[in-house]
Amino acid sequence: MQAITKPFGLLWDALFLQREAYARMRDDDNPFVEGLFVLVVLGVALGLVGIVGATLEWASSPSISAIRDAILPNLQQMPWWQFMEQDPQLQATWFRIWNGIWDVVQATAPSPASSLLGLILVPLGLIVAWLVYGLLAYLFARLLGGLGTLNQTLGATALAAAPQLLNALTVLPFVVIFSLGTWTLLCNYMALRVVHGLSWQRSVAAALLPSVVLVVLAILLGVIVSIVLGSLFATMFAGGIQ
Amino acid sequence: MSALLTTLRDIALLRTPAYEQFRDRPDAMKRGVLILLVCFLIAGSLASAIGFVVSVRPVNQEDADQFRDEFQRNMEQWQQLMPQQDPAMQMFMQQFLDNFESGFRIGAAVDSLDTPLPRGLARGFQALGGWLSSALGQMGAWLAYAIWVLLFAKLLGGNGGVDRFLGLTALFAIPNLLGIFSPIPCAGPFIAFIGWVWGVAVYVKAVQVSQRLDTGKALLAALLPALIVAVLVMIVAFVALLAIIAAASQG
């Protein structure tokens, strides 16, 4: 039992930027394995919390199909609907988009079944984000004169997932958590400072640069995806609206 | 408990020893964040309770008619203030009112839909979620602003730890307890505003003590992020205004 509660103690101290928590992880005999274990325990716990929260939210909300059926007759009473009725092709296109939007809403709405996926996806997401960020942070920290090893960097940056503890509050439905990114950045700053012994300016740079690289990559990916989707939609609707 | 209340009182009264004592606690951040959350939860409790009571009642036709009439009356008053409107503007306003009416009908229809849980319990969860989210949102805003203040404080020569800085600046939430009165008509928002201004004073003092700066530098560090954002917003608004004028003159 202590093996399960110990990671939460470490994460709780790391959440409030207690230097000792990061130092303990740095000085562990195998920080990488310890960090991985912390993230798996945290991810599974958050997955379980997510199931309860999503189920309660689902039970406290009307069904998506009921909402759709309540909105449509009211839209059909609006003046622009009469204009659209005169053009069957335009109406068919409208319904295609309307149904598409509701399909997306249905797929993304919280439900007990879809929340089960969180048991796998939450730990997996935490681990992938940690490995990518930790590797980049290690590279930048070393470039900036850091002295820590990759093993130590990964161990300490695993504790930067501590702000995810706040997500435990989502056991209650409709709770939204803000600024996790900012808090995570502060935890990463503390982790890199403790592991690499850098000045505060260099620690800030080492903590920020991986995020900058990832944001630039995400923007590039977004541009490519939107170009592909744009051309796909253009092909789809080219024959629909004359 | 009484020691904590004394500390909180002294911090609200800007007494330096209370800030120094709090700064030197090993759990300053933990304590500060918890105080911040509790203060914002208390400050938002009355508004959330009122919201919950209102949301439990189904929207009845009488309330809906009253709300719609009030909105239309406000729109008509606004229209009267506008100098001579051309037919296109009048048509736009009529369409706006029609669409508002439809939107209102849609809102009422969705509000009356059944949920798997009984309406009272479901609305209770929604109110609870909104109440917690509001406090967490204020905590998020505090954190997002604090990192910029910390950066400026460090650049101005500050030399305190991040955790101590965050722990102390979180105490700006204490005077914001006055926000609990904000739902009271007329005087409520004014009392909440006094709490906010008082909170700014606590924030500046917290920056000063946590970073060991003089008052001038602490004030500068605390206000610079807001000033920079304000200047950027003004520049963007000015450019947007110029663009609108240019587009209108071409049209």
Listing DSSP states for B93-116 in one string gives: HHHHHHHHHHHHHHHHHHHT---S
CA atoms of A147 and B234, how far apart (whole Å): 45
Q: What is the pLDDT at residue B82?
A: 67
Contact of B30 with chain A, judged by CB distance below 8 Å, is answered with yes
Closest CA relative to residue A130, chosen from A61, A193, A210: A210
Residue of B nearest to A183 (CA): B143
Closest by CA position to B162, among listed A198, A215, A187, A94: A187
Both tokens assigned to B183: 């739902």
Which of A172, A176, A182 is closest, CB to CB, to B143? A182
A164-186 tens-digit pLDDT: 999 999 999 999 998 899 999 99
Are A16 and B33 inside 8 Å of each other by CB? yes
Structure token pair of residue B249: 């003159």
The CA distance from B151 to B225, in Å, is 10
Q: How far apart are CA B193 and CA A31, in angstroms?
A: 49
pLDDT tens-digit series, residues B66-79: 777 787 788 777 77
Q: What is the pLDDT along chain B (251 residues), one digit of tens a residue?
A: 788 899 999 999 999 999 999 999 989 999 999 999 999 999 999 999 998 888 777 766 677 777 777 877 887 777 777 666 677 777 777 777 777 878 888 888 888 888 898 888 888 898 999 999 999 999 999 999 999 999 999 999 998 889 999 999 999 999 999 999 999 988 999 999 999 999 999 999 999 999 999 999 999 999 999 999 999 999 999 999 998 888 877 75
Candidates B102, B122, B136; nearest CB to A60: B122
CB contact under 8 A, A169 and B140: no
Q: How far apart are CA A75 and CA B207, in angstroms?
A: 54
Encode pLDDT of B156-210 as tens digits.
999 888 999 999 999 999 999 999 999 998 899 999 999 999 999 999 999 999 9
